[in-house]
Amino acid sequence: MKVIIIGGVAGGASCAARLRRLDEAAEIIMVERGPYVSYANCGLPYHVGGVIPEEAQLLVASEAVFREQFAVDARTSCEAIAISPQRKILDLKNLKTGKITTESYDKLVLSPGAPSIRPELPGIDLPGIFHVRTVPDARQIREWLEKGTQFLSGMDRYSGFQTIRPKTRAVVVGGGFIGLEMAENLVHRDFEVTLIERGDQVLNPIDPEMAHIVEGYLERHGVRVELEDEVAEFKQTESGAIDIVTRSGSTYPADIVVLGLGVRPDTALAKMAGLEIGERGGIRVDDRMRTSEPDIFAVGDAVEVKDFVTGQWSLVALAGPANRQGRIAADVIAGRDSRFRGTQGTAIIGLFGGTAAWTGAGEKALARMGDQDFEKIYLYPNSHAGYYPGAKPIAMKVLFRKSDGRLLGAQALGEDGVDKRISALAALIQMGATVYDLEESELCYAPQFGSAKDPVNFAGMVAADVLRGDMPISHWTSMEGGVLLDVREPIELAVEQVPGVLNIPLGQLRARLDELPRDQEIHVICRSGQRAYYATRLLMQAGFKVRNVSGGMLSRTQASFFLQDEIGMERQP
């Protein structure tokens, strides 16, 4: 059996290694148009930032390793330029020599990836404008930053000489993973960084109110975030810098521009071969990674996958699914019955010591589908027991089915313990858990690691209280009429309060029920929702119409969430 794999990074490399383990006799050719196979593209922004100092650290396995350890004929600088599925042959071009050879195959695996989007804008090709997709991309940026290409900044008014100044200003275009990671890494290199994002939020997969916390955090760490604006053109300035002119009419001068506008599946070869393309523009495959053409498989960033939470087709440019798909294609080629179970959209990004992570469906995605059978809660637990030093607040949004309690998705932000909670919640979503399962989860607890009621348990308890009817909730954004009751202590309201709110501290509530209206809905707030929950229970049993405003004051002023150093006044007995 002769198998050709086109693309030698995550999906292709995984496929090649796995296939050799399953079939010692197969002839395996893996071609990569770039100069490296199996490199760690997730590390590129950190290489630019100097966190990962050596380029060699990014090279996971060389051509030589593939040849020696896996007996794979790995060829870099080699591009597939034509496929004939009927004749089961393809043309490979050696990009160094220009020579074209024709190879036959029994099975073909496409793992061409998804190149960065590079819009057709005036000035897009000016020197100093980069994207970050490959090792050579990162090298070019480092060279640009390091080679001492400094700019003439104009005439010195005393000496009459032109002065030299170092590069100091960066503009990042696009607020996705790469854009944000590059913004951080350029700040680390002492750049003044402006981030321009066309949409009304960064990190499109999460919901806007959560993204706004991230935007505030970026601003706090020195990134100027400009939302709802878009680059119209790039202009070379006299000093050699670039002016970024936006549609709103603003001009941002920059010594370096990094484009992080997302990626687009590379479907050129697939189209040439007549393969079916999906609704999102990726190569359509079944759960065995087979394309519409027998004997041609596709994996990685170029394919569409089913999101098994929403049931929608989606494009996921992440290393984890790419690796798994590569393995599955190899399994199927080797005659095994492996299936890709789809994706659940788990992702994480670290920024300036903070972390944003999410898994499953967000509210935006559910709304887009017209799904109304869900509820959401906000909570702000500590990363570990508040009495042990170093606890940090976590902002969490959790979504679940109203009809059956099934956990649909979670988004979390914070400076400690975010990855742990989203990983546990991802595992629970994978297994079809309900919020009632979350209530009972038995996660690791010692005071430096968590709480006896872990944030995961806490989320389950709050959601289950909502579903069992023990705690009707409302949200700041959708509250209609009624009375707002704040059960915090007066000193807390002195710091921050909603104008016109009624204040009865929780401890006085039982004695002051006659101050509350029985004909209107009462929306109860406190700092994070804990005391408001106690008040809600009390008032419900006293016959009032009452709702807990999910997440309390912290949900109202989320933008300042990370600014809070003080850990919750509320403890859970």
In the window 389-448, what residues touch a second copy (CB under 8 A)?
A: 389, 419-420, 422-428, 430-433, 437, 439-448
Give me the least distance between CB of 285 and a second copy, in Å please: 16
Which structure tokens are listed for 454? 């872990």
* Number of residues counted as binding a second copy (CB under 8 A): 95
Q: Give yes or no: 78 in active site.
A: no
70 binds a second copy (CB under 8 A): yes
In our burial notation (b when 16+ CB lie closer than 10 A, e otherwise), range 56-90 reads: eebbebbbebbeeebebbbbbebbbeebebeebeb
Looking at the DSSP bridge assignments, the partners of residue 383 are none
Angle between helices 418-430 and 455-467 (to 10 degrees): 50
Tracing tokens 């060279």 back to the chain, one arrives at 143
Site string for a second copy, 357-386 (x = CB under 8 A): x-x-------------------------x-
Q: How far is Cα 521 from Cα 278, in angstroms, rounded to an integer?
A: 48
- Nearest distance, CB of residue 348 and a second copy, angstroms: 4
For the bound state, the minimum distance from the C-beta of residue 9 to a second copy, rounded and expressed in Å, comes to 10
Measured distance CA(435)–CA(428) in Å, rounded: 9
| Cβ contact 316:343 at 8 Å | yes
Question: CA torsion 541→542→547→551, rounded to 10°?
Answer: -80
**Measured from the CB atom, is 252 or 533 closer to a second copy?**
533
Residues 445-504 that bind a second copy (CB under 8 A): 445-450, 452-454, 456-457, 470
Catalytic residue among 42, 78, 444, 526, which?
42
Instruction: Provide the minimum distance between the beta carbon of 474 and a second copy in the complex, in angstroms, as a whole number.
Output: 19
Tell me the three state secondary structure of residue 28: strand
Mark 292-331 with x for binding to a second copy (rule: CB under 8 A) and - for no binding. Answer: --------------------------xxxxxxx-------
Question: What angle, rounded to 10 degrees, do the helices at 177-188 and 208-220 form?
Answer: 10
Nearest approach, Cβ of 31 to a second copy (angstroms)? 15
Beta carbon nearer to a second copy, 99 or 341: 341
Site string for a second copy, 126-165 (x = CB under 8 A): ----------------------------------------
The one-letter code for the residue type at 571 is: R
Given 76, 111, 291, 343, the residue binding a second copy (CB under 8 A): 343
Q: Which of 216, 388, 401, 545 binds a second copy (CB under 8 A)?
A: 388
**Nearer Cβ to a second copy (4/328):** 328
Six token digits for residue 285: 């495959």
Per CB under 8 A, which region of 12-20, 79-87, 98-106, 152-160 contacts a second copy? 12-20
Residues 6+ apart with CB under 8 A from 372: none
Compute CA distances 529 → 279, 495, 551, 567, whole Å: 42, 17, 5, 14
Catalytic annotation, residues: 42
